[in-house]
Amino acid sequence: MAIDEFRDDIDVATAVENIKSMDIRGAGRIARAVAISIRNNLSNSTFDSSDQLRTMVFEWSRELYNTRPSAVSLSNTLRYIISRMMQHEGNAETLKGSLMMDCNTFVQTSLNAMEVIGDYGAHRLRSGMVILTHCNSSNALSILSRGKERGKDVKVFATESRPRHQGYITARYLREKDIDVTLIIDSAVRALMKEVDLVIVGADTITANGAVINKIGTSQVALCAHEARVPLIVAAETYKFSPETLFGYLVEIEERDVREIIDPNEIEGVNIRNPAFDATPPEYIDAIVTEEGIIPPTAAYDIIDKYYGNARPMEELLSIQ
Ligand code: RUB
């Protein structure tokens, strides 16, 4: 499925700009844009030595890091690239070739993971079910489209997802796939939850205790689902799991420009806040669909241990003071 609407020749400076402005958005797309932009910067540069190449990759990584602080996919992509870079030996030319291949491997692995998540998750669908999804997650959509391919006809409620309306992207995508979709406002979730059989959302970050950071409103959706005894599953690749949370770091919830909500001049004297993500506690999550299989949120630690057992905190890795 077509999921990456950024140019394949994107460089690091453009990726930084586009991720900040949300022209590139969604945790998986952000991760792939990071890998592709580093590959392209490598391709367009010449290096006197492998040390110089490494210095440049660290510099690009620092520029990319923090563009969307709530998406651990971004830092885990950098982690992967840096750890591969430190393992490679040889001169600048050899290192450049190997690292460009690593970036391509990351992108391919990420796309494959989404397909596998679609496969596994679709086993949870049955014809006639009503599904609710929030915001726009390519992994949640992978499950729904794979279900459709297997002849499972479901109906979907897609939340609008104020303030940026990513729900429109979801609704249009489902329509294209010939899946029955109804757009609803975010505050209609509780009223309609009694009609829902299953909630499927994506994740920006999953913490060591199995909490899920996702688009603002996800925790309200989860609370309503929990109250109505509707199961909620999260669709996320293993690179959304946060090793930092093992070291006691809390996930930073991004607060975006309030003008995404309203021009402050139109409502003078009123404080406005615009947190872009929230945390859903593990008690409200029935399962996490990963490319490793469908796991309970309590298994988050095992995934982190397996994939990031030797990880160092990102700021230490990038030597950020
Ligand atoms: C998007 C969002 C998505 C996750 C997962 O928020 O919260 O659910 O990023 O997406 P935003 P995916 O629009 O602010 O980036 O499954 O595509 O990685």
Ligand 1 in reach of 166 Cβ (< 6 A) = yes
Question: To test the ligand 1 pocket, which listed residue (21, 72, 204) has its Cβ within 8 A of the most ligand atoms?
Answer: 204
- What pLDDT is recorded for position 310? 85
**Cα–Cα distance for residue pair 212/236, rounded to 1 Å:** 10
**Cα–Cα distance for residue pair 177/168, rounded to 1 Å:** 14
Q: Which of 263, 71, 73, 221 is nearest to 135 (CA)?
A: 221
- What pLDDT is recorded for position 1? 39
Tokens linked to 111 = 């796309």
The string of pLDDT tens digits covering residues 233-287 is: 999 999 999 999 998 999 999 999 999 999 999 999 999 999 999 999 999 999 9
- Secondary structure class of 6 (helix, strand, coil): coil
Query: Position of tokens 């929990």?
Result: 226
**Cα–Cα distance for residue pair 297/285, rounded to 1 Å:** 7
More confident residue, 12 or 313: 12
Q: Which of 4, 103, 135, 186 is catalytic?
A: 135
**What is the H or E stretch that residue 37 is in?**
helix 27-43
**Cα–Cα distance for residue pair 102/90, rounded to 1 Å:** 15
The minimum-distance atom of ligand 1 relative to the CA of 236 is: 16
User: 137 CA to middle of ligand 1, Å?
Assistant: 5
Q: What percent of the chain has pLDDT over 70?
A: 98
Q: How far is CA 266 from CA 161, 162, 275, in A?
A: 22, 18, 20
Asked if 90 and 97 touch (Cβ cutoff 8 Å), the reply is no
- 51 is annotated as an active-site residue: no
Average pLDDT in the 75-82 region? 96
- What pLDDT is recorded for position 7? 83
59 has pLDDT over 90? yes
- What pLDDT is recorded for position 3? 60
User: DSSP label at 177?
Assistant: T
Ligand 1 in reach of 137 Cβ (< 6 A) = yes
* C-alpha torsion sign, points 124, 144, 106, 19: negative
The string of pLDDT tens digits covering residues 220-236 is: 999 999 999 999 999 99
Asked if 235 and 292 touch (Cβ cutoff 8 Å), the reply is no
- What pLDDT is recorded for position 192? 98
The string of pLDDT tens digits covering residues 136-175 is: 999 999 999 999 999 999 999 999 999 999 999 999 999 9
**What is the H or E stretch that residue 272 is in?**
none
Tell me the residue ranges of DSSP E strands in the chain: 130-133, 155-159, 180-184, 198-202, 205-206, 212-215, 232-235, 277-280, 287-290, 293-295
**Cα–Cα distance for residue pair 169/130, rounded to 1 Å:** 19
Ligand 1 in reach of 69 Cβ (< 6 A) = no
**Nearest CA residue ID for atom 10, ligand 1:** 137
Mean pLDDT is lowest, of 126-135, 247-256, 293-302, for 247-256
**Angle (deg, nearest 10), helices 50-64 and 92-122:** 40
99 has pLDDT over 50? yes
Asked if 13 and 33 touch (Cβ cutoff 8 Å), the reply is no
Ligand 1 in reach of 54 Cβ (< 6 A) = no
**Angle (deg, nearest 10), helices 12-21 and 27-43:** 160
- 135 is annotated as an active-site residue: yes
Ligand 1 in reach of 202 Cβ (< 6 A) = yes
Ligand 1 in reach of 85 Cβ (< 6 A) = no
* C-alpha torsion sign, points 173, 175, 178, 183: positive
Asked if 311 and 241 touch (Cβ cutoff 8 Å), the reply is no
